[in-house]
Amino acid sequence: MTLRELLSEIATPDRQADRVVPPSGHTAWLTGFTAGTMAFLAVFALALSLAAGRLADRWGEALERTATIRISAPEEQMELQTRAVLDLLATTPGVASARALTDAEEHALLEPWFGSDLPLDTLPIPRLIELQEEGEGYDAQGLRQRLAAEAPGAVLDDHLRWRQPLAIAASRLRLLGGVSILLILASTAAMITLAAHASLAANAKVIGVLRLVGARDIYIARAFVRRFTLRALTGAAVGTGAGLLAVALLPSADAAGGFLTGLGFQGAGWLLPLLLPPVAAVTAFLATRAAAFRKLKELT
């Protein structure tokens, strides 16, 4: 079946075929409710997946092209080793720039842990040098060897050990979001299949009469399929709307925002959930159609 035929079958009403199946209360309610609930959850799964994606990108971009050199040396040698490291970096291929963090910047980094009233000036704080990569990047192994020779107190931290677990965690979260959406779709299909089976079984007499007068399976199935598809579409539309509203009401991301406040949609991302109702409808269509033909064979 092509997409065009599928859309035509959903969109083209056959009033006679629609009327032959009596309205059934509990399966209608169940289908609409299931589709609505699942769409609501899918909005959050989608938001989680997109937020995880953004987080992974942000961490990657922020950490991927930078590195830090930490110099721990006696006070009298600190300035000398700092100068030596900066000179060395200036001649290292793949390093775009390097600069030593000022005392104020270092204090600002430590402030969250030690507070503002600690006498940081009296503590032996290592000097930090931030470097920016360029092109293919620098040779970390070679740089470490040169640092050991020129400035024994200098240690290169290329952020790899921080970046990798964070990037893996973020990509796992993104994957989890995608898997959740697939599971939600599968659950929707399973619930609608059950509801369609129940409806077909409850209407065995109707099916018998239709067969008696020469109705083909496709005619009988269509009467059920279209009904379930439209219920799923309506339920999912309501669930998606509710989900979007709930996401919109989450606290907005700000400069100090962590991961949770960034859970939401940005820009064109707000349009993605609008795909959920049609996807739910197509899922319901395929699930009901398969269930209908299977059940009709059983009811021979």
* Inter-residue contact 102 to 68 (CB < 8 Å): no
Query: Which residue lies nearer to other proteins by CB, 213 or 268?
Result: 213
Quote the CA–CA distance of 79 and 73 in Å, as a whole number.
9
Query: Which residue lies nearer to other proteins by CB, 161 or 205?
Result: 205
Q: By CB under 8 A, is residue 292 in contact with other proteins?
A: no
Residue indicated by tokens 């998606």 = 240
Residue 237 has phi, psi (to 5 degrees) of: -65, -45
Residue indicated by tokens 């993605």 = 272
Among 112, 115, 135, 214, binds other proteins (CB under 8 A): 214
Query: Which residue lies nearer to other proteins by CB, 209 or 248?
Result: 209
Least spacing, CB of residue 15 vs other proteins, in Å: 9
Taking residue 257's Cβ as centre, other Cβ atoms within 10 Å add up to 12
Q: Which stretch binds other proteins (CB under 8 A): 87-95, 112-120, 143-151, 208-216?
A: 208-216
Q: By CB under 8 A, is residue 26 in contact with other proteins?
A: no
Among 202, 215, 286, 299, binds other proteins (CB under 8 A): 215
Least spacing, CB of residue 214 vs other proteins, in Å: 4
- 3-state SS, the chain, equals CCHHHHHHHHHCCCHHHHHHCCCCHHHHHHHHHHHHHHHHHHHHHHHHHHHHHHHHHHHHHHHHCEEEEEECCCHHHHHHHHHHHHHHHHCCCCEEEEEECCHHHHHHHHHHHHCCCCCHHHCCCCEEEEEEECCCCCCHHHHHHHHHHHCCCEEEECCHHHHHHHHHHHHHHHHHHHHHHHHHHHHHHHHHHHHHHHHHHHCHHHHHHHHHCCCCHHHHHHHHHHHHHHHHHHHHHHHHHHHHHHHHCCCCCCCCCCCHHHCCCCHHHHHHHHHHHHHHHHHHHHHHHHHHHHHHHHCC
Q: Which stretch binds other proteins (CB under 8 A): 206-214, 244-252, 253-261, 281-289?
A: 206-214
Quote the CA–CA distance of 118 and 106 in Å, as a whole number.
13
Among 22, 74, 93, 152, binds other proteins (CB under 8 A): 22
Query: Which residue lies nearer to other proteins by CB, 100 or 210?
Result: 210
Least spacing, CB of residue 206 vs other proteins, in Å: 6
Least spacing, CB of residue 295 vs other proteins, in Å: 13
Among 13, 208, 251, 257, binds other proteins (CB under 8 A): 208
Six-digit token string for 170: 């973020």
Among 3, 104, 123, 213, binds other proteins (CB under 8 A): 213
Among 65, 144, 163, 211, binds other proteins (CB under 8 A): 211
Q: By CB under 8 A, is residue 197 in contact with other proteins?
A: no
Q: By CB under 8 A, is residue 212 in contact with other proteins?
A: yes
Q: By CB under 8 A, is residue 209 in contact with other proteins?
A: yes
Q: Which stretch binds other proteins (CB under 8 A): 107-115, 135-143, 156-164, 216-224?
A: 216-224
Site string for other proteins, 217-256 (x = CB under 8 A): xxx-------------------------------------
Interface with other proteins by CB under 8 A: which residues? 16-17, 19-20, 22-23, 205-206, 208-219, 297, 300
